[in-house]
Amino acid sequence: MTVFDPIISKVESLVTMVRHKLLGANNERLDFLMDSFYKLDAKNKNIVLISIVASIVLFIGFTIVFYLAQINSLEDRLANSLLALQRLQERQSHHQQVHQQFTSIASEVARKSQTLQMKPLLEKIARSLAVQLEGLNESEDNLASDDPLNKYLTQRKIEVRLPRISIPKLLKFLAQVEKSPHMLRVSDLTIRSVYGTKLYFNATTTIHWYKGA
């Protein structure tokens, strides 16, 4: 006895049951149909034969049409799948190119700020413009958790106060900061008037920059 014997037995039982339903237990229904057919006259026999042949032809035709329709459907689905795969591959290729550009830029930014000492740099710019600096409070400026830069860079900031400074010198100072090759960014600029003079102001600004992670 093999593992297939129970399956074969069930199939045989199913075939026997179907045959009994259609033809009868001892093929009596088939015999009845054959007897009825032989009792017909020639004209009716021809009609029955033509009907049987037409039914077979229609069944075969329907089967072929259904088969071809399924083949066409499969071909369409295959074509759509191949097109979707091609688009996905193109997008993956584009994504890789963009990612390489992104990592290259991030590496360049990290390289430019690798040896940056912010306080000495700002003091040097201030001396060249005869500008006084105060504060210089440096701290972390955390990036958003979902920011892709997190893997490559950290962000820092420094708050700078410039007391009694004229607007032209303030603009020159900010311009010199942003012209720095270290890719510094000025933000949060606040300017307040100084009592008793219209030429000088107290200014506060925040400078941001990136360092390698």
- Give the single-character DSSP code of 149: G
Q: How far apart are CA 96 and CA 109, in angstroms?
A: 20
Span of 33-47, 103-117, 156-170 with lowest mean pLDDT: 33-47
- Closest-CA residue to 60 (of 52, 11, 207): 52
Position 10 scores a pLDDT of 65
Q: How confident is the model at residue 1 (pLDDT cuts 50, 70, 90)?
A: low
What is the value of pTM for the model shown?
Answer: 0.55
Q: How do residues 141-194 score in pLDDT, each as one tens digit?
A: 877 777 777 777 888 899 999 999 999 999 999 999 988 888 888 988 999 998
**Element holding 202 (H helix, E strand):** strand 201-212
- Closest-CA residue to 168 (of 201, 132, 197): 201
Q: How far apart are CA 40 and CA 50, in angstroms?
A: 14
The token duo for 42 is 């020639």
- What are the strands of the beta sheet with 185-193, ordered from one edge? 134-140, 153-165, 201-212, 185-193
> Looking at beta carbons, which pairs linking 64-71 to residues 24 or more positions away fall under 8 Å?
none
Q: How far apart are CA 184 and CA 158, in angstroms?
A: 11
- In one-letter notation, the amino acid at residue 126 is A
Distances (CA, A) of 191 to 31, 121, 187, 194: 111, 22, 12, 10
